[in-house]
Amino acid sequence: MRLSAAALFVAAILLPAAAFAAGDPAVIPRPHGWIGTTEEWARALGIAFAILDVLILAAAYRSHRRTGESPASKQLLFVAIAVLPVGVVFFSYFHALEASKTVESCNACHVMAPFVNDLRNPKSDTLAAVHFKNRYIQENHCYTCHSDYGMFGTVHAKWEGLGHIYRKTTGRYTMPIRINTPFSNLRCLNCHATSQKFLDPAKHPKEDLPAMFSGKTSCIDCHGPAHPAPETRASR
């Protein structure tokens, strides 16, 4: 009896999760045995846990109404209120933090559309578009250049992201959108500093390197613009 209940529980979670994780048929052929990414599975498990929690809450409510408090209704309540929500929150965070790195997430605010349209324009020669069309960055193109590296870089980026959402929601921003702090060279150098192209003295003389590493000379000054000029961006 207990075994069948456990099997039912596992099936209730895994079957919808597998269905959600499978998602849309991929345009690019996937490797043999492809079952989705970790992020897709986290999202799918989150949805499965949430559905299961709603069902258990409904069962607990029904049981409570019919028979009053019973050990069974208390157990159901404990699972639905203290256990499953932890899973839902965990998978929601996992999904949200991963999904918030994508270009689509940045593009969800219409003020970002000129930047993203330029990024995806194969005819554009801005730094962002060059990185995008040549796949210098594999994915999460906005996030990769606009977050510092390491654990606290990620935390800082998320914190700033919340600030962006607040300003967007309350309308506390001015057009055209501009970066609020100077772009750090370290974000470029993290990828480029050890490349032969960068180390070629004909392109970057050795005596100029300290100024680049300290940020006195900005990469953007010579290699920009990173994005379309402010006057070409749409107004609010």
Partner 1 sequence: MSAERRTSSRLVRASIATALLGIATCFPLLIEETPYTFVLFMFVAQPLLVAAFLLFTVKVFRDLRSGHLL
Q: Does 147 bind partner 1 (CB under 8 A)?
A: no
Closer CB to partner 1, residue 88 or residue 119?
88
Closer CB to partner 1, residue 164 or residue 192?
164
Interaction mask 9-48, partner 1, x per CB under 8 A: ----------------------------------x--xx-
Length of the chain: 236
Pair 121, 93: CB distance under 8 Å: no
Closer CB to partner 1, residue 77 or residue 212?
77
The residue to which tokens 């606009």 are assigned? 146
User: From the list 12, 40, 61, 220, which residue makes contact with partner 1 (rule: CB under 8 A)?
Assistant: 61
Closer CB to partner 1, residue 126 or residue 161?
161
**Amino acid present at 169:** T
Q: Could you write out the DSSP letters of every residue in 88-138? A: HHHHHHHHHHHHTTSHHHHHTSGGGHHHHHHHT-TT--SHHHHHHHTTSS-
Closest by CA to 42, choosing from 85, 92, 89, is 92
Q: Does 72 bind partner 1 (CB under 8 A)?
A: no
Q: Does 82 bind partner 1 (CB under 8 A)?
A: yes
Q: Does 133 bind partner 1 (CB under 8 A)?
A: no
> Which of the stretches 64-72, 131-139, 146-154, 205-213 binds partner 1 when contact is defined by CB under 8 A?
64-72
Q: Which residues contact 70 (CB under 8 A, 6 or more apart)?
A: 63
